[in-house]
Structure 1
């Protein structure tokens, strides 16, 4: 191959990845938009705290169902078609929720949006991992996580912009149609992945795409390698995952998802304006404006994590992040516990502590939990194992989100944050005692150690 031919068509690869990763932006938008809308919905429909919890959490029931169906859908339809389908469902759900005339209709629309989020959370990273050249895979797959945080801050900004309009919450939901259309139309012009085409016997199409993406490589040899890898992948079942030698990896995967959710992250994502109102912000508009800052910190610290995770390692970032999160939660608990003594300062104390909390999460548990589940499972079981970990994440997310306001009523505002802080302490010990350091460790070494019965936190050290 002449030297003048670039090995990778980086411009094309990054353009494709940018369009596909906008599925993450849509995911983040429809996850975060409810936080501002809730302040107006509870007044328009006279929602009780319990009804608010179910309206927020309805999307997660759809996510659980979507995640459970996603593996089969993505294999049958293909990654590209599945993402286009989710964009259509996103758009339909945005119109449904924006025009709903009752709480049951609004809740049903939220479930529909959740179905799309559940499928997108699986299909988009898979598409990115298969379309990206190996040397760019980490950065391009991380782009999805980054755009989820961007989508959340965009949703907060939309909530802020719509707060003074008539029919406020309707506009907040309806604007979701625009990124949905962008994703659907953009994906229509992108190629299918070579891996999926090869699995369907469409070698000529796969070769053509490989030539476009990586003109400076031997496309035939690359396709042969893809087919060899496919022969090893996807043969595992849930029964295989229950094998004794895989239990440490299963425990780590489900455990890290529990810690990620049970430390209260989605009480912040879904209820930040509500928490700010609890702390003394006098109007919905000012509470939503303060929430935009939380979203910006989330984006900036995710960028920091992407830069540091392969330099400092997973465990140091997890340890530092959990300490920061736990101290922030304890500070919030103390602030609400001594609310009368703190006075008007409480609202600014809450802003600072939530900024610290979300920043600590974004640099640690946010991206690293997802990275770990991609690293600790052997290749033949990775697909089903990651699906189970993703499903458990949505289940824990639902449980935490549907109980937050009830906890503030039964335990008090301080009690709810003390509970999350205790989970943070437990999570720190869990990561310290069980989570291995996987930085720079070949995945084959981790599988070897699992088969040899090496203790969980020692995996990869052989």
Structure 2
């Protein structure tokens, strides 16, 4: 399938790289799901943010313990556990419509994708032949962006379906279960087997992966590299020995800029951001956000193929420069649009609740119309619980004023001046250029 790489090695890498697909899907999924969840549970801005960020709490836990776990129990077993945990976390979410359950499920999913991202890259690197290692590890990165694209497509497909967010979360369950089963039949990493002093098993795995009858040479190379590793301790990372301190600082700086450039926020809130700049319905915002997924895939493929020829430093400089220009453009455009993200997340739950109740008019008799209208405009419905969420209560007052005039909040905004179509599409174009530049310069 790939020149210089055995079929079994490639298939093993592809099965492991499904973790990247699952990770990308979970990262992009919440962008559209939160629009429905916030309306169903009438969530405040803070509660929406907690649901979105709860994934990162689980990821933080796994990132602190993942290295120890994969060295103690193995890379393959870690991927199996991570896939199983993702299935479990998704199953927890489906039967209930509870704020607390959503947080628990998202924490479990965050732990899963973080652990799998650590184990998958190490597993693929250790089973791949040296001259094809970079290409096969990049397969995981490509799967991440494909997963993000699938998530945005899923967001659009289920945006107008009742309880569509449950379908979004449920789609990964079969794939996660299949990966856990398939990984069980794949061999452990030969490097891990040597770490556990199981040289004979490591030799058999290498012979199967390389499709050769003698893997003595590669076995010797692995043993030599492990011996070299043992001369370093954790504290050597902070010393000048072999330039380790400078290497660590460069790595930490790159990771820092990956986070502070705002890319994770775009993944998590793409639909909300687009809704705030003029794509007013959930369907329109979700459809526009699929452009983010498409651009990420299209940008990652050439970056992966040509990084060795062009150089990662060149890609980093070009990508960072274009990102700066696109962010400045977005800022200027959004300044003219007068974007208010807080009012968007405050108003959408009440707006959707009103439209949902309005849809029930078709099943109501004429004699009960008065009661239905009274229930829609009652203080309990419009203000919810003032003590639980003052922000939502204030939103209720705004919506009550709009309802009294026979107009929804969205209609009032339209009367005050809809977002000019040029600014709306310029904002989207700037966002897509930013995403493309990030994918080229800093990765998926």
Q: TM-score range by the shorter chain?
A: 0.7 to 0.9
Aligned partner (choices 240, 250, 254) of residue 248 of structure 2 = 250
Given that 2:206 and 2:215 are in contact with CA atoms closer than 8 Å, whether structure 1 keeps it comes out as yes
Q: Deviations over 1:238-295 (max 9, x none)?
A: 3221214533222211111111110100111111100110011121011111111110
2:202 is equivalent to residue 125 of structure 1: no
The aligned counterpart of 2:303 is: 305
Query: In 2, distance between residues paired with 1:334 and 1:29?
Result: 31
* Alpha-carbon distance between aligned partners in 2 of 1:234 and 1:155, rounded to the nearest angstrom: 42
TM-score by length of 2: 0.78
Listed as ranges, the matches of 1:117-266 within 5 Å are 117-216=113-212, 218-233=214-229, 236-244=232-240, 245-266=243-264
Does the C-alpha gap of structure 1 residues 299 and 7 become closer, same or farther in structure 2, counting only changes over 3 Å? closer
**Within 1, Cα distance between the matches of 2:235 and 2:209?**
38
Structure-to-structure mapping, 1:18-417, within 5 angstroms: 18-216=14-212, 218-233=214-229, 236-244=232-240, 245-339=243-337, 343-366=420-443
TM-score by length of 1: 0.75
Tell me the residue number matched to 1:411: none
**Separation (CA, whole Å) in 2 of partners of 1:217 and 1:233:** 28
Structure 2 gaps of 5+ residues are: 339-416
Unaligned runs of 5+ in 1: 1-5, 368-462
Equivalent runs, 1:417-428 vs 2, <5 Å: none
Q: Give the length in aligned residue pairs.
A: 362
Deviations 1:88-116 (A, max 9, x none): 00100111122333111101111111111
Q: Name the structure 1 match of 2:351.
A: none
Task: Provide the C-alpha distance between the structure 2 equivalents of 1:262 and 1:7, rounded to a whole number of angstroms.
Answer: 39
Instruction: State the Cα distance separating 1:7 from its structure 2 match.
Output: 10
Task: Measure how far apart 1:8 and its partner are.
Answer: 5.6
RMSD: 1.9
Alignment CA distance shift 1:7-1:336 (3 Å): closer
Find the aligned partners of 1:270 and 1:260 in 2 and give their Cα distance: 15
Range with bigger deviation, 329-338 or 201-210: 201-210
Q: Could you tell me how far apart the structure 2 residues matched to 1:137 and 1:171 are?
A: 36
Question: Counterparts of 2:195 and 2:3 in 1: how far apart (Å)?
Answer: 24
How far has the Cα of 1:33 moved from its partner? 0.6
What SS does the corresponding residue of 1:347 show, helix, strand or coil? helix
Distance (whole Å) between structure 2 residues aligned to residue 248 and residue 153 of structure 1 = 36
How far did 1:363 drift? 0.8
How far, CA to CA, are the matches of 2:233 and 2:198 in structure 1?
A: 26
